[in-house]
Amino acid sequence: MASWRLHGADHAGNVLPGAVFGPILATDNIGSVRVIGRMLSGAMPGTPKIGLEVVDVRDLVDLHFER
């Protein structure tokens, strides 16, 4: 609501992604990244066929900070 007061209700909105992903900054083989990769590639047995609202972190930044 504070953003609505700052920018006016006609210029503000809400973004509620199911998951936010982006470039990996660590060089280690991170377990959570492997799990997501296996789910997306279909390599994980028993993965349900569900939709997931995924947003790239860079797009989310662009929404918050108009460049």
Cα–Cα distance between 49 and 42 in angstroms, integer? 10
**Per-residue pLDDT in tens (0 to 9) along the chain, 67 residues:** 666 676 666 666 677 788 888 887 877 777 877 887 887 788 888 877 777 788 888 988 888 776 5
CB 17 within 8 A of CB 54: yes
Beta-carbon contacts of 63 under 8 Å, excluding residues fewer than 6 positions away, are 15
Cα–Cα distance between 5 and 41 in angstroms, integer? 43
